[in-house]
Structure 1
């Protein structure tokens, strides 16, 4: 996938001129880099950055695998992302937005996008005012690999593995003087099998306690293709123009068979369904950067436009005792967004710099649903409750100002962002129109103090917002199957979060990094799912909590054991309090969750590398229950055959333990859902590089398989 055009978040402050802007490629063009001189963990005033090029599972897997390798980040089996237990996460890729990384299509993208082009993952739990405040938990920024100066190169890579996993990609780059060109093509497909068991118990109005068990066996067959071209040109020593265009196409096929068994035989049935989802997306962007007199004095204008077309065709056959029923449902979703950024950086003195700017994002979505049902495939009759049209508009205009102050060992970065949001929904079918316009201020503050000998203290505060998405606001009831439906809430308000952190960090030599961070988050109006039992069918709605509080501590350790073994370890403990009184539940709920993850890498020789990594996320509190997950272990091996040819082998979910359980309590009873992942998967990847090498590259540097193909960055 062409990564940079698919970014889902706001544009960051302008990078230095050496950092090129066109989007990088989606498939791997650099092999895994493992070197004792690299820093796996970097930190600055407002973010911590983790190098994942040495993680074999991440580099041979999907974006979900890459994110699971990062401390504090969790990706569930359905593609949902959370940060320190909060699902309000915005995702950037080199700082540019994408419709595919928002809304309904985001989970599919995370579960299918290849991650081999990602070099670092930045975790920004308290972003500065120069970034959008969207995302109550913070921002995850994916940094892609870069082009080396004055090289022409290309990489072809083929990956194959268990359960039909196949990918092929071609990436090329040319850097000559003032001009840099990049291009990428990628195609992939795979098969994923999973199983879901849903057990429910409820007391009916007649006093009968009904017990049911639904078993679903599901097969997914995604197929995707991506293409991108990018160009960057220095028209003068002080002026740089950048542009890129990308297109992506996905075809996701899903097949399910299910049996529903009840202790009331009249309620039992079997069901088969098939769905096909087609996704088409594009992204266009252009920018001009001007270096002004003085150091770090610059100006940037960037404009862009992206769009996504999402089409879903669904067919199902249900066989109860009363007779067979056939269903057909068609959904269409279109999203268009225009964006503009104006960013200005200027040093006021040797110790004080300012960053000011304007950002605008103007989005329009439309949804259309049609459904029919009947006793035969040829006798389908339109069903009004399955037919719906919905429109959504969201315009956000923002101005921001930050200052960067350095005084000896002390540093400070105060900031303020002012935003005007104009949101409108139009439920065409039911003639429901709602608008919500508001103006808000978002202050931020980052402080740092160097204690000496590698020790430092960091403190930060930011105010965040989590705006409801289009389907969160749509009051139409979306039919999923006979047991489940979903409805939005047009009166849903945005969630506001105040976040405070205090961290101690130690960096010693070129390898050791230690940090301990205490965090506290207080949210008002948190957006959550609520489940209601409507006579055997679960209706999931969206609602505002009265509030939520998360406080905890996170520890990270990265270093070496001798010359050949490196490690990256992290653990966190979080205490969560949910105030449900605004939802109609007269209670608060609290609980504690913990997570651990680690990677151990053994560089057996200059050509051989072995790696073991794993993670575990503890029992997590939900408004009406809990979610629990099993630990997962991965194994990898990399062999450098020649300077141009490399091979890697990885086994994901080595113990075949990927499983999640959801326990939910409703007013009428309870439910337990157990979801199994795709299971153990072995992947073999071969890569070959064409073109010249960077002349500055040392001849014996281990595991730099690619001499320099990739998008600028």
Structure 2
């Protein structure tokens, strides 16, 4: 408890100190302003809500500002007197511009905008999609090659972390063990601001999702079928997490603190300052979190010839963990000239954790009579530090979209862990292991993206990217006898060095012919991978894998009257390179000697051909986006569970390339304003699969294990948002996951219900939020697994019911909206959108 108080105190002092300094600086540049107001209407004199209204001062851009109209189409703003170009943008309406001299305070009257017409829309925008950087009317929108989720309206994840946010993102699911999947596929590629990031860890992104606070996330881009501009890895698709940066002129910021149960505390801040050609941002904070999970299994072993039961093994596992983490993300952007800008940023993340895992092992004979009992106590500790530095240079050759962007990213991630495991029989110590693991990941990423307009409606894009990754794994495992004499386990100790060099180039062309838009591209990637393994027994191996892959992509769209009513069709080819720790040939943990994981250094990448046919209608009151998809995977990577030796009750899990798999389904996302006080957002995923493949190990198996099988399953999510009054809102969310059966496992259905509430106070400067995750404690997974000589029933609950209460204070929130400098800059300079090219 003392440590928690100290961490919170340190963060609070530093945050308030920085807030005071930046706040004082911003006052020094304050200018006398006058209050103006107005209203945005259509040609029928009806109010246009949530329109972006930008005032650009023609004499001094420091006085420029922007705002949004409210539900009645009205807006208010404080401006310095002067001559302004006024730009108005709203969904389903044409962009409108006018000029006005503002001398005195008062109402500027009505500004009228015209409903959009497909014959006069700018074709390039139709293809790229227009992103207004402001509070969106809807939390979800569809663009040509991605879907964008805005978490600012998500009450259920307030005070939480990235993992909580992902639980609410359409087309995305978070499994009970924390694994993130898209449309039932867990091979998801994570990006931060458009590139792999040390903030998530270079090798296993999911394990670090809890370290990124929800309050620091600007938006999430869901890319189920990435174009050739994006890196080709990740067969399920890409989740690009865009973090907050500087917004609005002057000083802006917020501080969020939260407490929860199971015990958790967090304090995070988002600060930004923009003046002249410079903008700075600082996001950071820290927290403490406890978690508790159950993993219980009942395994029946049998003779594979007669199918007669030989023995039973029941294991009941309870894991309790504590985690302390901190993170900081800071940087600046400066316009060196009117056409050239430089951006520099740095990130750091640290964590310390302890895990206490208790496993009760019960042995039974064939008649289910208990004949043995032992208990395993495993205490683990871990600490990690990640750092990343980025620098980018953007240059515009003209104002027509002729651009070039260069960037370099240096990343380092180090994790150290210990694991002390002891096994007792009837209270007597019989065996123990002590493991020390040290992993260092280093990465250098360089890329260049070039864009060239071709005529008025077309664009050619090309680029190059290099990834140089080195992962160094050191494992030292020791075993002890009943006299506590520790001896090094040479077979389970050693070093693996994984080196990966990927060179990639791409080109793509986009254009539009009347209502028909298209984008075609080709990406080539050369992969060179070296794996050197040496254990203390003296066994060594060296593997080299060298291959070239070509990854085409095609995106087609057809406007059914307007760009808010479209048919979308696309195709892409993807690759899944095995993660480096999938290729470590010895167990990384010996805490549970009955269930071990070994890597396979002979793993090859798997390839996927992905097709989608979708429809998107996006109106002011609702959005509907049904998508039919089909995927064909070859060299599919499957986890095979084997007995260590015939008749042994020690199970080894190991990945292998096995056969092919076809996946097909309907993924439908929607949101609607049913009433002025009731909004819904939902997703439906109905999917089927057909797998083919066999596996046989003559030394450990009496007959081949078949992976042939087919099945059908479903996932449903519905979020109801209720606005009680102007300052108070509530959300109720339900999630259902249907049962699923494969050739090697069968899982039972699961449902979850969550609740959130949000109260705004202090004239909009403060917000109190409360949420309950898993109201009925049903977020658990029941699975039956089948092997060559066993059948295993397993129950796993990753996290019990939790409560969270948070408070957010915002300062200088009158300046919320970015200034769209030119047509190309409507998407913020965050490396997240299609224009910025996270992608390479």
Say whether the fold is shared (TM-score over 0.5): yes
TM-score by length of structure 2 reads 0.77
Deviations 1:363-415 (A, max 9, x none): 01110111111135852111112212111011000110011111111000000
Deviations 1:539-569 (A, max 9, x none): 0001112111001111222111121111111
Structure 1 residue 39 displacement after superposition: 2.8
**Partners of 1:127 and 1:436 in 2: how far apart?**
25
Structure 1 37/532 Cα, relative in aligned 2: closer, same or farther at 3 Å?
closer
Structure 1 672/111 Cα, relative in aligned 2: closer, same or farther at 3 Å?
farther
User: 403, 407, 413: which is aligned to 1:308?
Assistant: 413
Question: 2:560: which partner in 1?
Answer: 451
Secondary structure of the 2:164 match is helix
**Partners of 1:272 and 1:103 in 2: how far apart?**
30
User: 437, 461, 468: which is aligned to 1:362?
Assistant: 468
The answer to whether the Cα contact below 8 Å between 1:173 and 1:711 also exists between their aligned partners in 2 is no
User: 681, 686, 695: which is aligned to 1:573?
Assistant: 686
Secondary structure of the 2:400 match is coil
User: 719, 726, 742: which is aligned to 1:606?
Assistant: 726
**Partners of 2:278 and 2:409 in 1: how far apart?**
21
User: 161, 174, 183: which is aligned to 1:84?
Assistant: 183
1:93 equivalent to 2:192? Answer yes
User: 560, 571, 575: which is aligned to 2:673?
Assistant: 560
User: 570, 573, 588: which is aligned to 1:478?
Assistant: 588
Structure 1 residue 652 displacement after superposition: 1.0
Secondary structure of the 1:101 match is coil
**Partners of 2:813 and 2:242 in 1: how far apart?**
24
1:252 equivalent to 2:252? Answer no
Bigger relative contact order, structure 1 or 2, given CA contacts below 8 A and separation 6+? 1
Deviations 1:619-666 (A, max 9, x none): 234551123452111111111111322111111111121111221111
Alignment of 1:498-647 (within 5 A): 498-508=609-619, 510-534=620-644, 535-581=648-694, 584-622=704-742, 624-642=744-762, 643-647=764-768
Secondary structure of the 1:110 match is helix
TM-score by length of structure 1 reads 0.90
Question: 1:164: which partner in 2?
Answer: 263
**Partners of 2:202 and 2:712 in 1: how far apart?**
29
Question: 1:415: which partner in 2?
Answer: 521
Question: 1:684: which partner in 2?
Answer: 805
The answer to whether the Cα contact below 8 Å between 1:391 and 1:428 also exists between their aligned partners in 2 is no
User: 480, 486, 489: which is aligned to 2:600?
Assistant: 489
User: 463, 472, 478: which is aligned to 2:573?
Assistant: 463
Question: 2:137: which partner in 1?
Answer: 38
**Partners of 1:97 and 1:202 in 2: how far apart?**
43
Deviations 1:175-228 (A, max 9, x none): 111111112331101111111111100026997621121111111111101123
The answer to whether the Cα contact below 8 Å between 1:204 and 1:210 also exists between their aligned partners in 2 is no
**Partners of 2:336 and 2:358 in 1: how far apart?**
60
Question: 1:281: which partner in 2?
Answer: 386
Structure 1 residue 297 displacement after superposition: 1.0
**Partners of 2:389 and 2:785 in 1: how far apart?**
43
**Partners of 1:681 and 1:544 in 2: how far apart?**
39
The answer to whether the Cα contact below 8 Å between 1:51 and 1:121 also exists between their aligned partners in 2 is yes
Deviations 1:263-322 (A, max 9, x none): 145542111111011111000110000011241111011001101101110001101258
Deviations 1:330-365 (A, max 9, x none): 111110000101000110111210110001110011
**Partners of 1:37 and 1:155 in 2: how far apart?**
19
Secondary structure of the 1:475 match is coil
Alignment of 1:297-446 (within 5 A): 297-320=402-425, 323-375=429-481, 378-429=484-535, 430-446=539-555
| Higher mean displacement: 113-122 or 441-450 | 113-122
**Partners of 2:604 and 2:500 in 1: how far apart?**
14
Question: 1:14: which partner in 2?
Answer: none
1:179 equivalent to 2:278? Answer yes
The answer to whether the Cα contact below 8 Å between 2:248 and 2:816 also exists between their aligned partners in 1 is no
Structure 1 682/184 Cα, relative in aligned 2: closer, same or farther at 3 Å?
same
Question: 1:217: which partner in 2?
Answer: 318
| Higher mean displacement: 257-266 or 654-663 | 257-266
Structure 1 340/107 Cα, relative in aligned 2: closer, same or farther at 3 Å?
same
In structure 1, stretches of 5+ residues that fail to align are 1-32, 698-709
**Partners of 1:36 and 1:398 in 2: how far apart?**
36
Structure 1 582/100 Cα, relative in aligned 2: closer, same or farther at 3 Å?
farther
**Partners of 2:320 and 2:706 in 1: how far apart?**
41
**Partners of 2:709 and 2:159 in 1: how far apart?**
40
**Partners of 1:145 and 1:122 in 2: how far apart?**
14
In structure 2, stretches of 5+ residues that fail to align are 1-69, 72-133, 697-703, 819-828, 833-840
The answer to whether the Cα contact below 8 Å between 1:36 and 1:511 also exists between their aligned partners in 2 is no
- Cα RMSD (Å): 2.3
Structure 1 259/582 Cα, relative in aligned 2: closer, same or farther at 3 Å?
closer
**Partners of 1:524 and 1:253 in 2: how far apart?**
40
